[in-house]
Amino acid sequence: MATTSYSGIGRYNYKLLPLSLSSITRWPCHSSPSKALVPARPRVVKLNFVFDGRKGVLRLGRDCGLPRRRVITAVARVEPEQLGEENANQLGEENANQEVNKGDKLSENEDSLPELQQKASQLRKRIVFGLGIGISVGGVVLAGGWVFTAFLAAAVFVGAREYFDLVRSRGITAGMTPPPRYVSRVCSIICAVMPIITLYFGQIDVSVTFAAFVVAMALLLQRGNPRFAQLSSTMFGLFYCGYLPSFWVKLRCGLAAPALNTRIGASWPILLGGQAHWTIGLVACLISISSIIAADTYAFLGGKTFGRTPLTSISPKKTWEGTITGLGGCVATSIILSKIFCWPTSLISAIAFGVLNFFGSIFGDLTESMIKRDAGVKDSGSLIPGHGGILDRVDSYIFTGALAYSFVKIFLPLYGV
């Protein structure tokens, strides 16, 4: 037989746990109507109670009023009143958890404040330096001639250095052999000289071919084992950083026919060149550069607002929604500026020019993103605060100059639109 009961004494609860039968004690008694019951052989039975681990012994003496029955040894445990204390503990734990949660929220808010301040600071830097670069580039494009060419040559030199640094980075060298350092430096200088040669001679094909031959011979005759990866990365550097940007010189300075229908040119000061200063090359440069800026801006805003579908794995942040928005903004800018400058004269030509500028800009952007992805870096450099390196800012313009020059030089005269 096993039972469980509670007996309250004072502020303690005595809990009688299930017990086992330990012994059977017989109490023989002589009943007599005139005498008290006296046990024949009184025995001592020990009933153990445990009070907080301390054992107390209770001896049962003479007791004549008990019949024969089983005496069970029990063990009791003394416990404090748990209900009140448990409730208090639970309330304390809940309050503590609330305080901890409040502290976590406060710490998260405190941590988020520096991040927001940092992002706001970066945005301010980006806007300030972006406006500064835009105004500077606009003045350089208006100046033209040697000012424009020298500015472009300096940008090409820095961009070439960044390109060869990317080629020599750990992410790319893990799968290929980069060109020697002295070859990279020589190629950077050659790329910077290409725009100057283009302005002086009017064309650059022979110069580029000669430079490529010299660099290829230097790589093939070097000590050790020449690798094709060295030759291919160097030749692409000459093409990407030197040859393609030189078309901006051909576009701005080579197309010297005056834009007679431009109203701004009619009121342009004589001290700054008068109406003859506004050439087809200047107007084409302004429309092309403005269209690229509009394409990047609208693509960014459209991607942030509507972007859902990724465009390509090369640049995960670009979306189809942002690309379509950028295309619309680029074409709209080209049409508006064509009405202002009265060039090109037809709507079809303005739309085609805008589409060509957009595809040139996005192709250049994706090409530079592919190089940075293989190099394992986010930016090509840190020259411009908030913008990264030179290549990060001019990647959209590298292919566009050649496409815009081909459009004005070949497409418009060929089709008469």
Task: Examine the domain organization and report whether 144 and 76 are in the same domain.
Answer: no
> Could you report the per-residue pLDDT of 56-66, keeping only the tens digit for each?
444 444 444 44
Q: Is the pLDDT of residue 285 over 90?
A: yes
Model confidence pTM above 0.85:
no
Has residue 114 been placed in a domain? no
The answer to whether residues 277 and 359 belong to one domain is yes
Spell out the alpha helix ranges (H) of 144-180: 145-167, 170-173
Is 193 inside a domain boundary? yes
Per the domain annotation, does 61 fall within a domain? yes
Phi–psi pair at 23, nearest 5 degrees = -160, 160
Q: What is the mean pLDDT of the chain?
A: 77
Q: Is residue 99 part of a domain?
A: no
Residue 161 is encoded by which pair of tokens? 């250095």
Q: Are residues 175 and 289 in the same domain?
A: yes
Together in a domain, 71 and 144: no
Separation of alpha carbons 389 and 213, rounded Å: 29
* Alpha-carbon span 263 to 345, nearest angstrom: 13
Q: How far apart are CA 407 and CA 247, in angstroms?
A: 12
Structural domain of residue 47, as residue ranges? 5-28+40-80
For residues 153 and 69, state if they share a domain. Answer: no
Query: How many structural domains comprise the chain?
Result: 2
Quote the crossing angle between the two packed helices 347-375 and 145-167, to the nearest 10°: 40
pLDDT digits 0-9 by tens, 227-246: 888 899 999 999 999 999 99
Residue 229 is assigned to a structural domain of this protein: yes
Structural domain contains residue 71: yes
Residue 109 within a domain: no
Domain assignment present for residue 90? The answer is no
Task: Identify whether residues 48 and 180 lie together within a single domain.
Answer: no
Q: CA torsion sign, 152 to 160 to 326 to 401?
A: positive
Same domain, 145 and 67: no
* Contacts for 189 with CB less than 8 Å, ≥ 6 apart: 157
How many whole angstroms separate alpha carbon 101 and alpha carbon 35? Answer: 78
For 2-33, the pLDDT digits (tens) are 444 443 444 444 444 444 444 434 444 444 44
